[in-house]
Structure 1
Amino acid sequence: MTTVALIGLGNRGFDAYGRLISEMPHLGRVTHAVDALPGRLERARRLFGLGEDALFAHWDAFFALGRVADAVVIATPDDQHLEPTLKALELGYHVLLEKPITLREADLEVLLAAERRSVGRVTVCHVLRYTPFFSKLKAMVEAGAVGQLVGIQHTENIAHWHFAHSYVRGNWRSTRFAAPMLLAKACHDLDILRWLVDSPPRRVSSQGSLHHFRPENRPVGATDRCLDGCAVEASCPYSAPRLYLTGDLAAWPTRVVCDTPERAAVLEALRSGPYGRCVYACDNDVADHQNVLVEFESGVQVALTVSAFTQHNTRTLQIFGTHGELRGDLERGEIEWHDFRTQEHHRISVPTPRGRGHAGGDERLVRAWLESLADHAELRTTLAASIDSHRMAFEAERARLGTALQGESV
């Protein structure tokens, strides 16, 4: 059984990876926890049965103990991934690293070099490679279902309310302290495209901007906060009370707003915290609609669209080949296969676990990671395998900024 320390106890570190490890006691056990917030440490103490000597406010104090576990999960904020990962590798820990890997392209090589020097290995949380849906598509492409692969059209549909939560009000709203939207959200998609094509990228271009969530689009009568008597709150598609107070208060995304699943506590968080702000009066600067074109060394061309202005929270794609076409919808777990050779049309239903995080990808990643630490099996998302997704994102962002209109906020 693998012993694991959790570094970062937020939505991903605690609610995803930590809980999943606790549900696999035959494979792993959480033995230490690190977070700056005492309330999160207390939650970890209760759930994992930890003593006070296993709780740390900073990773320096934990690493000062030496190598006291087999592996670490690093799910700190985006700008705090590099340092603890380097320290973990120096001590020989295996690392499960939340994406994005780093916020600077040069640091990718720094991490690769550190991993080469270490007995520890880094696994990146590109969870989509582990979903039943994308695993099925990969198998079909490799089996020749579409003949020679020519191109892919992929769309990351960020539901309008999800974008407002994460990229207007939330932790990934600004490149001043987080990754650009493409890297933060769509490095998953770039990774899936790289995996499906199975070829290094050759050229990347991109266009996109912050279209809507800007002060000049603020409706007449809107207040700085939704609960401050806003005249348009009831009809606003981005109403904070509607998003955070009408469902299960212990579920995502409300649990990100407030650790206490009680109406009074959530209301107070909306009155004073970032999630109660008007979406037209935030400090956001990331693009809300972006297109990326990638040509791979194999000649395959892909087009990725990432948009806030969608109803569904899903990923859809169309795969073009010389002998067939595949169309898929992750949320529905459906694949359509048109075989040009036989003129047959097949509908394939892929079991898609509900409520298990990223269509089952979270659970399958954690299980595969823990099993690999026991039997040394190769994983799908090693550091080396995952880096091209970030290289494409950095290149796309350079291209986007190079084509931005003069004076535009980007």
Structure 2
Amino acid sequence: MSTPVRLAVVGAGSRGTNYARLAADVGAVVVAVAEPDPVRRELFAAEFSLSPEAVFVTWEDLVVAPRSADAVVIATQDRGHTAPAVAFAHAGFDILLEKPIAPTEGEATQIVEAVEATGVIMAVGHVMRYSDYTRALKELLRAGAIGKIVSVEHLEPIGWWHFAHSYVRGNWRREETSSSMLMAKSSHDLDWLSYIVGRPVRRVSSFGGLYWFRPENKPAKAANRCVDCPLQKTCAYSATQIYEGFLEDPSYRVWPLGVLTPNPTAETVRNALETGPYGACVYNGQNDVADHQVVNLEFDDGSTAAFTAVAFTQLEFRKTRIFGTEGSIDGDGQNLTILDFATGRTRILDTMPAGGASAADGHGGADGRLVEAFLHAVAARDGSGLSPARESLESHQLVWAAERARERGEVVTL
């Protein structure tokens, strides 16, 4: 970009730091940070060579300070999105907002209305839309490669240790302090399905719940903390096995190890496991969000989609099968296998994602593509290459509809 975009970051955790690094890699300048944790704040300031006057404890201090940034990344916890997003919109900042927009419909609507009223550019962190894989798939569908879409199967394999990290031990373990699992983890997926199919959803049903990570499933000999547990060498969810094993691979430094401690070493990780939530037994009952869920969507033309999110898998790319009137497409996050019914022939398109499926790998390059699209929009003053804020809100409404359907045992009509 000819004139570098100046970027402020609110929330210097793993997502905020990752977005900042990706932005700096493509020419943006990180000029300010707001972060209440002193260690994370100082590490971020040092990495991006920020002067003391550009380092703030709270976002409230940053938004009223003399203007130094064109745009802001908001990567606070889910329930901390609304106030800063509305304030920065009214202050004229373009916004990259980590998903979800907000846990409740009222809060999310408030943010979108503030963005629309002020005319600022906002991108929601639905990174799946921006990957090379998604772009290639969308182009195939636009070109009529399989005729009209009739049905879609889509799987989100969360990964057993990832689920334990984020949704049993981590920040998203309880709905009252964060959001539902479907919102926190899979607002991505319902947004993506809406985008891929390209039609409004008419009806939603959903089933699922917390199946396994419950006190009644705790082994008789298990301790309350993994460092004290006689089963820590054999338990699939052993925190010592999971996190101390990650110390050998630097790609896990920012995530998940950086969530346990700002400066991951053998000593600091061990201390976190001895004293913090990430060393607790997964069967202690500290969590209440679903560990498996299915969502069924009926679109306005009668086509359907079936989505499954499940903890009990490897952490890998989403799996998708799209069934059309003239062919089908099987996708695994990298390869798209296209079958043409008329000829009986198949062809394989390799989209070559950059890295693996986890946050440590930038979601196969999708994080970087989102950041690039956002920075281009800010520099060009043209948000047409981004998912519109109102469209992101509409895909969130699918999540709230699915949760109503699951909780009430009914089909929800939109």
**Residue 117 of structure 1 corresponds to which residue in structure 2?**
117
Maintained 8 Å contact 1:187/1:390: yes
Instruction: Return 5+ residue gaps in structure 1 as ranges.
Output: 405-410
Q: Distance in 1 between matches of 2:336 and 2:71?
A: 37
Q: Which residue of 1 aligns with 2:55?
A: 55
Tell me what 2:26 maps to. 24
Query: Does residue 273 of the first structure (1) align with residue 273 of the second (2)?
Result: no
Cα deviation, residue 343, structure 1 = 0.8
Deviation at 1:66, TM superposition (A): 5.4
Q: Distance in 1 between matches of 2:177 and 2:92?
A: 29
Kindly indicate whether the alpha-carbon contact (under 8 Å) linking 1:66 and 1:91 is maintained by their aligned counterparts in 2. Answer: no
Q: Partners of 2:316 and 2:289 in 1: how far apart?
A: 19
Describe the SS at the equivalent of 2:36.
coil
Residue 373 (str. 1) matches residue 378 (str. 2):
yes
Instruction: Extract structure 1 runs of 4+ deviating beyond 6 A.
Output: none
Deviations 1:98-140 (A, max 9, x none): 0000111122322232122203121111111111111111111
Moved more, 254-263 or 317-326: 254-263
Equivalent residue runs for 1:25-40 within 5 Å = 25=27, 28-40=28-40
Match of 2:301 in 1: 298
Q: Which residue of 1 aligns with 2:365?
A: 360
Q: CA RMSD in A?
A: 1.4
2:226 match: secondary structure = coil
Letter in 1 for 2:197: V
Aligned residues: 398
1:403 to partner: Cα distance: 2.8
Hey, what's the Cα distance between the residues in 2 that align with 1:216 and 1:5? 46
2:401 equivalent to 1:395? yes
Residue by residue, what CA displacement relative to the aligned partner does 1:245-286 show, whole Å, maximum 9, x if unpaired?
A: 012365222221122221111111000000001100141000
Q: Retained in 2: the 8 A contact 1:123–1:379?
A: no
Amino acid aligned to 2:271: E
Within 1, Cα distance between the matches of 2:310 and 2:274?
28
Question: CA shift at 1:46, angstroms?
Answer: 1.1
Larger displacement relative to structure 2 (383-392 or 158-167): 383-392
CA–CA separation in structure 2 for the residues paired with 1:10 and 1:91: 24
What stretches of structure 2 of length at least 5 have no aligned partner? Answer: none
- The one-character-per-residue Cα deviations of 1:329-366 (angstroms, maximum 9, x if unpaired) are 11xx1111111011101122111101640111111111
Aligned to 2:177, the other structure's residue is in SS state coil
How far residue 383 of structure 1 moved from its aligned partner, in angstroms, is: 0.8
Tell me which of 260, 263, 266 is aligned to 1:260: 263
Q: Is the 8 A contact 1:167 1:286 kept in 2?
A: yes
Amino acid in structure 2 at the alignment position of 1:349:
D
| Local SS of the residue matching 2:355 | coil
Alignment check: 8 A CA contact 1:190 1:392 kept: yes
The aligned counterpart of 1:138 is 138
Does residue 231 (structure 1) correspond to residue 237 (structure 2)? The answer is no
Partners of 2:342 and 2:127 lie apart in 1 by 34
1:92 to partner: Cα distance: 0.9
Identity of paired residues, percent? 40
Match of 2:287 in 1: 284
Check whether the contact 1:36–1:57 (CA below 8 A) recurs between aligned residues. yes
User: For 1:344 and 1:364, how far apart are their aligned partners in 2?
Assistant: 32
Q: Give the match for residue 408 of structure 1.
A: none
Tell me which residue corresponds to 2:191.
191
| Residue 282 to residue 52, structure 1, CA distance change in 2 (3 Å) | farther
Q: Report the 3-state secondary structure (helix = DSSP H, G, I; strand = E; otherwise coil) of the residue aligned with 2:16.
A: helix
The separation in 1 between residues aligned to 2:123 and 2:58, in whole angstroms, is: 22
Alpha-carbon distance in 2 for matches of 1:164, 1:313? 15
Alpha-carbon distance between aligned partners in 1 of 2:42 and 2:153, rounded to the nearest angstrom:
45
